[in-house]
Amino acid sequence: MTLPAPNSIAPPLELIEALARDAVLALPKPHRAAALQVALQVADFAPDYMLEAMGIESPYDLTGLYEGIPLTEKSVSDQPQQPDTVWLFRRAILEEWVERGDIGLADLVTHVVVHEFAHHFGWSDKDIATIDPCWE
């Protein structure tokens, strides 16, 4: 993956998606196959219904969201309602990247991806820390 030209305005949705897909492929082998079954969506901002449901006023405050039923809560008798989805919100990610100034964009996207997949897999903070060196 090549970075955008220096004269470009901001990394496009496609770059954020490519970085996110790279992060999924870098997950530990036992989790990678299951992670590839989760839909990955990238949008500029979270839709209003997501922000309202989470009580978030500014769309810049939500960098990612897992939508679905965590594997730890699923049952084989459950009827699928919708596909599990990890959402990434480009503008919020870029805002955090600029504000922090201490992390590369690929590392930040990986951090958001791992955090959202943690909800899917039911990982503890300790589990996340073994996968994501940026975890605090």
Domains of the chain in sequence order: 13-71+86-131 (3.30.2010.20)
Query: Each residue of 55-80: pLDDT tens digit?
Result: 999 999 999 999 988 877 776 676 76
Distances (CA, A) of 94 to 10, 69, 114, 121, 123: 8, 28, 17, 26, 26
Q: Rounded to 5 degrees, what are φ and ψ at 97?
A: -60, -45
Distance CA 79, CA 91 (A): 34
Distance CA 21, CA 103 (A): 19
pLDDT range class, residue 86, cuts 50, 70, 90: very high
**Which helix H or strand E contains 85, and what residues bound it?**
strand 85-89
> pTM score > 0.85 for this model?
yes
* Share in percent of the chain as helix, strand, coil (round to 5): 50, 10, 40
pLDDT range class, residue 91, cuts 50, 70, 90: very high
| Mean of pLDDT values over 131-136 | 72
